[in-house]
Amino acid sequence: MQIDLTKFPRQKNTELRSWALVALAAAAWIVLYNIIEPLADWLAYGLLALEHGSRLGESLAFFFYDVPKLLLLLSGMIFVISLLQTFIDTQKVRTLVEKRGEGIGNAMAAFFGAVTPFCSCSSVPLFIGFVQAGIPLGITLTFLITSPLISEVAFVMLIGMFGWKIALLYLISGTTIGMISGFILGRMKLERYVEGFVYDIKPRANIDLNLEEKLTWSERISRSWDSTKEIVRKVFWFVIFGIAIGAGIHGFVPENALAGIMGKDAWWSVPVSVLIGIPLYSNPAGIIPIVSALLDKGASLGTALAFMMSVIALSLPEMIILRRVLKPQLIAIFIGVIAAAIILTGYMFNLVM
């Protein structure tokens, strides 16, 4: 006799209970979100008796307000995003992209790259899986560019520190960068720079991957809850340290100190920021508070965003992983094309903002 996994959670009251818990959590979230600002002020100016307008007071009030605010935003929004992500996985994306040609295929890969969660340890299986399915190299690379470049954590952090408009700008420009760079890479006929073993892998004949798996809402909710906890735990210290450094810059670095080197008029600032960002890797949760403080001190938006994208999209560990399937020539071209696209985006923002 088989034990049917689906029997347990399908009971009505489990579903109802899950939704009730979500509603309760949402209510608590709203209450908390509305009391953190007075609480932060009270902590800095009341309890610690710092003076309004003093450097330390400003920095600390900023820190006490931003840390809980961002952690709340992250947990709430990552939960909602994770819930949506339970409807999509890389296997489904592969099936959807499989029959498309270049152009539409790139656009779809960029879109799905943006919405699926990214784990660098999965980039090789993903690459091989796409190649096995006969998906053109350019489309596969579009997915591999967009997936790390658009991160849900970065998106939420941008909403928290810069507002909706900048967060949307990031989404749109990141997807466009992935689409265009992948398309260009596809045109360059680089198949010979893919390691040969990738084409030799044959899936076993009797593989049945139709696991699923009709998920019930309570299963989706509990999975999203688990992945939210996982992500928030992972970014927790990045948020704390990022905001601490940001708060330090905010309170102690003079206004316009950076205008000369990261401002609009320094034309070389965009490429230099991107170059510095390539080998660096930081979690977006750590880099965005710092970028935000840099902006306050006279750095321009295009330069700051280009730096951030370069830090999160291009990283040494990721390249080392990709080296397993891509020859060094292709890695170099890959980095070059993405860096160029990010630099262009940076200039564009500096021009229009």
β-bridge mates for residue 194, sequence order: 326
Give buried/exposed letters for 158-194 (b at 16+ CB in 10 A, else e): bbbbbeeebbebbbebbbebbbbbbbbbbeeebeebb
Does position 47 interact with another protein (CB under 8 A)? The reply is no
Q: How far is the CB of 109 from another protein (least distance, A)?
A: 13
**Choice between 140 and 273, CB closer to another protein:** 140
Q: Which of 32, 96, 124, 322 binds another protein (CB under 8 A)?
A: 124
- Of 15, 37, 41, 89, the one binding another protein (CB under 8 A) is 89
Interface residue with another protein among 121, 192, 255, 351 (CB under 8 A) is 121
The distance of closest approach from Cβ of residue 127 to another protein in the complex, given in angstroms and rounded to an integer, is: 9
132 scored as a contact of another protein (CB under 8 A):
yes
Q: What are φ and ψ of residue 4, in 5° steps? A: -90, 115
Task: Please say whether the beta carbons of 193 and 185 come within 8 A.
Answer: no
**Is 3 a residue that touches another protein (CB under 8 A)?**
yes
Are 170 and 155 in contact, with CB atoms under 8 Å apart? yes
**Residue 105 engages another protein in binding (rule: CB under 8 A):** no
Among residue numbers 233 through 292, which ones bind another protein (CB under 8 A)?
A: none
2 binds another protein (CB under 8 A): yes
Which long-range CB contacts under 8 A does 94-99 form with residues at least 24 apart? 94/129, 94/130, 94/133, 94/135, 97/130, 97/135, 97/139, 97/143, 98/133, 98/134, 98/135
Minimum CB distance to another protein, residue 349 (Å):
33
Query: Structure tokens of 269?
Result: 């600032």
Give the per-residue contact string, 217-236, with another protein (x = CB under 8 A; - = no): ------x--x----------
CA nearest neighbour of 279 among 311, 323, 320, 242: 311
Minimum separation from the CB atom of position 226 to another protein (A): 8
* Residue 125 touches another protein, criterion: CB under 8 A: yes
For residues 29 and 77, the answer to whether their CB atoms sit within 8 Å is no
- Contact segment (CB under 8 A) with another protein among 14-22, 89-97, 162-170, 236-244 equals 89-97
Helix axis angle for 301-313 and 328-352, nearest 10°, is 160
Residues lying near another protein in the complex (CB under 8 A) are found at: 1-3, 5, 89-91, 94, 119-122, 124-126, 128-130, 132, 197, 200-204, 207-209, 211, 223, 226, 324-325
